[in-house]
Structure 1
């Protein structure tokens, strides 16, 4: 017997959902990851409305959506184990869809705008120390099966720490990137298709040149720079696996991930006197408030150094006995 298909919304609502996702992709250049998350969040809300009204969600349920339905939706998701971050993102997806309907004159977004998002717990970046970050880049290829793969892993991890790239940004570089040994900067396509200019350290160029020299696969400009063992695009999971091996070998914590190298890049720049605006530009953050999280990390480090080194901050040690001292 064929399995029944759950209808969680009318054809009209599903049509507007498709139009909304297309607009996010074409006009706002949302990433595939963002589109998947928003689609999933809205689908969960429409499924909730189907159960709430005991029928497929219809346009009439969205015309003047109030905080009552939204609070009930968040409460149901919380009972299912969703955390504050997930709930906040889910509410953002619903708001975006209702604003889409409002722009077309099909609904009012007043209720969705009035709904406050759950308070988000503060999550600070967890960078590596300078010594550990350098150890990662120096030992990156130590456990690779072939010399060219060792050179590749070294180039990727050196790039993440040396330029503060996201792993997706590094693996999206074209085959002709990092090919000029005299280059001092390069453009990087970040989130939302926004391009920024990042400076290139000599160590990054040297590592990239060694990878190019040993790579057995052609690296045309219309293909990816970093390749997997069989010549296809290098997958993030392979880089994460290489980092996991390094964690075990170097005794690093579980928080030492490829993305932690990006955090380390920002934190170490700030510790050395870099200003927030510059670091914001280098990281490609849309909001300065995101970059400001690194000030809390640096402040915590400074306080720790103070507590460990200042004579009046250190725990008082017992005064040695004067007996036997000439």
Structure 2
């Protein structure tokens, strides 16, 4: 399987240099290819050039037997298809048997989001007289007010936030940058935290330019954000199961429910493809009822 390892090294370089993919994505691609290489070894398949459509069908059967989600299987096959496509481009292989494989249909799950009353509960629990309370409020307002990913939020630097313009420069997937506006609530919360709470927290640690700090004054990580959100839910006494991505779902859902166009929401979320944004075109039951009551003659 040395040829697989050598080919994988070339493919990783391609993903890093030409495609500018994130390290997270590259690690997943590599793991999927290495997993298939192990399958080849178990089945006595001599090399990448002799893999057939029937071999792939057998591999798919094994993945299904492992009871993996359709989305997970799709990602594995997509990684291998890209790998073979690259090898074809480099003239290292002539065929791409994965091009014959159709990916499993997505499960069409509707993203979970928060209702406005649930948000109000969360926004009311932070003690704004304390540094951590100010930080938590700014964190909530930024996540909901911009729809940025948790990893993007954890990576924000002081110089990225323009309080005068009400925008933040976000470093997204694949090192793609975008400017995202935020409203008056997020601006007020961020201003208070940067002038007061953050100044107190930074005194506990070596100087750094991260916006969001932990209680020791060091940059807050994604896991820390998750923990903070869980604690805020407990304080609000709300019967909610929150994951940080829900704020991103809520941001997109509320914008679309209030009439924002899909292309604008795509731009704000930093989605490369419109299809990624279209999962948010569902509407809440309250919005459906409101529309019905406003427009149906017999409502």
Q: CA offset at residue 134 of structure 1? A: 3.2
Q: How does 1:5-154 map to 2 (within 5 A)?
A: 9-10=1-2, 12-53=3-44, 58=46, 61-139=47-125, 141-142=126-127, 147-154=130-137
Of Structure 1 and Structure 2, which has the larger fraction of its residues in helix?
Answer: 2
Q: CA offset at residue 165 of structure 1? A: 0.7
2:176 is matched with 194
Q: How does 1:242-261 map to 2 (within 5 A)?
A: 242-248=228-234, 249-254=236-241, 256-261=242-247
2:226 & 2:13 partners in 1: Cα distance?
Answer: 32
Whether the aligned pair in 2 keeps the contact of 1:176 and 1:221 (CA below 8 Å) is: no
Runs of 4+ that moved beyond 3 A: 218-223, 299-313
Alpha-carbon spacing, 1:229–1:272, altered in 2? closer, same or farther (3 Å): same
Q: CA offset at residue 189 of structure 1? A: 1.5
Q: Secondary structure at the match of 2:8?
A: helix
* TM-score of the two chains, using structure 1 as the length reference: 0.82
Residue by residue, what CA displacement relative to the aligned partner does 1:100-159 show, whole Å, maximum 9, x if unpaired? Answer: 2111111134321111111221111111012222332332x35x9x92122112111210
Whether the aligned pair in 1 keeps the contact of 2:33 and 2:80 (CA below 8 Å) is: yes
| Pair member with larger Rg | 1
Q: Secondary structure at the match of 1:176?
A: helix
Q: Secondary structure at the match of 2:158?
A: coil
2:170 & 2:121 partners in 1: Cα distance?
Answer: 26
2:284 & 2:209 partners in 1: Cα distance?
Answer: 42
> What value does the CA root-mean-square deviation take over the aligned residues?
2.6
Whether the aligned pair in 1 keeps the contact of 2:160 and 2:169 (CA below 8 Å) is: no
Q: What is the number of residues matched between the two proteins?
A: 293
Alpha-carbon spacing, 1:52–1:154, altered in 2? closer, same or farther (3 Å): same
Q: Secondary structure at the match of 2:159?
A: coil
2:197 & 2:9 partners in 1: Cα distance?
Answer: 46
Q: Secondary structure at the match of 1:29?
A: coil
